[in-house]
């Protein structure tokens, strides 16, 4: 009842809440509130759009990086990375991490811990060295190689962002398939990058 009387009084008096100056200030405050809310909404939407686009373009860049990596020639050899793997027999690929009699451990990773009864490899294998050299400008990556998507025979990585568990290569990953000269299997190469660690690719 009280507010009804007040409202009628205001309507009849043809005045605002208070003096003219106060009314102007109130109007300005309302305008500012509207402006801020709409601006925050638009900016937030724009940020979400930019993040979505950045994520998609990073996926495309991974494909480009992977193809460039496979086409890069190995220093001292007459072949590219893809051909080097393609000319290997299945048993050579399977034993590439530790090597065996007559088989080169081209995927061996240097054992820096020097712990354990059996000492690990004393230096990196050829493919590991070449991969580190080709992808040296990228901070955080992981390259995994499979025979027919079943057996992982080689995994090379750098940085702390990528997970170290074998088999965890799904999600934001680029994939390529290359043939083997022995024709009874294909080799699948996966490349996973950490988005925030990506930098220039002057070496590719």
Dihedral angle computed from the Cα positions of residues 89, 95, 101 and 102, in that order, rounded to the nearest 10 degrees: 30
Show contacts of 1-8: CB within 8 Å, 24+ apart: none
Interface with another protein (CB under 8 A), residue from 25, 39, 53, 151: 53
Among 26, 32, 43, 133, binds another protein (CB under 8 A): 26
Cα separation of 51 and 39, whole Å?
Answer: 18
Task: Classify residue 190 as exposed, middle or buried by CB count within 10 Å of its CB (0-12, 13-18, 19+).
Answer: buried
**Residue 39 binding another protein, by CB under 8 A:** no
Gap between the Cα atoms of 60 and 173, Å rounded: 10
Shortest distance (Å) from residue 82 CB to another protein = 6
Q: Per rule CB under 8 A, is residue 21 in the interface with another protein?
A: no
| Residue 105 near residue 125 (C-beta atoms within 8 A) | yes
CB of 83 to another protein, least distance (A): 7
Query: Near another protein by CB under 8 A, which window of 105-113, 124-132, 159-167, 172-180?
Result: 172-180
- CB nearer another protein, residue 44 or residue 100: 44
77 touches another protein (CB under 8 A): no
Which CB atom, from 81 or from 109, has the smaller least distance to another protein? 81
Determine whether 118 is exposed, middle or buried from the number of CB atoms within 10 Å of its CB (0-12, 13-18, 19+). Answer: exposed
Count of positions on this chain that bind another protein (CB under 8 A): 43
* Token reading at 114: 């020097």
Structure tokens at 23: 């009314």
CB of 183 to another protein, least distance (A): 6
Please report, as ranges, the residues that interact with another protein according to CB under 8 A.
7, 10-11, 14-17, 20, 23, 26-27, 30, 33-34, 37-38, 41, 45, 48-49, 52-53, 56-57, 59-60, 63-64, 67, 70-71, 82-83, 86, 175-181, 183, 186
């Amino acid at each position: 009842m009280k507010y009804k009387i007040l409202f009628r009084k205001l309507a009849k008096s043809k005045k605002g809440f208070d003096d003219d100056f106060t009314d102007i200030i109130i109007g300005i405050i309302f305008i500012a509130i509207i402006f801020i809310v709409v601006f925050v909404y638009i900016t937030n939407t724009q940020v979400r759009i930019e993040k979505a686009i950045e994520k998609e373009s990073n996926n495309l860049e991974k494909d480009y990086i992977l193809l460039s990596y496979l086409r890069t020639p190995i220093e001292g050899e007459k072949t590219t990375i893809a051909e080097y793997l393609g000319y290997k027999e299945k048993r050579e690929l399977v034993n590439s991490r530790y090597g065996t009699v007559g088989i080169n451990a081209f995927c061996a990773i240097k054992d820096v811990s020097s712990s354990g009864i059996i000492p690990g490899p004393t230096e990196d294998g050829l493919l590991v060295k070449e991969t580190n050299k080709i992808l040296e400008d990228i901070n955080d990556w992981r390259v995994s190689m499979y025979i027919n998507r079943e057996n992982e025979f080689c995994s090379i990585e750098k940085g702390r962002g990528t997970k170290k568990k074998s088999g965890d290569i799904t999600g934001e990953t680029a994939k390529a398939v290359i043939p083997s000269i022995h024709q009874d299997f294909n080799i699948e190469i996966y490349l996973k990058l950490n988005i925030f660690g990506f930098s220039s690719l002057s070496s590719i």
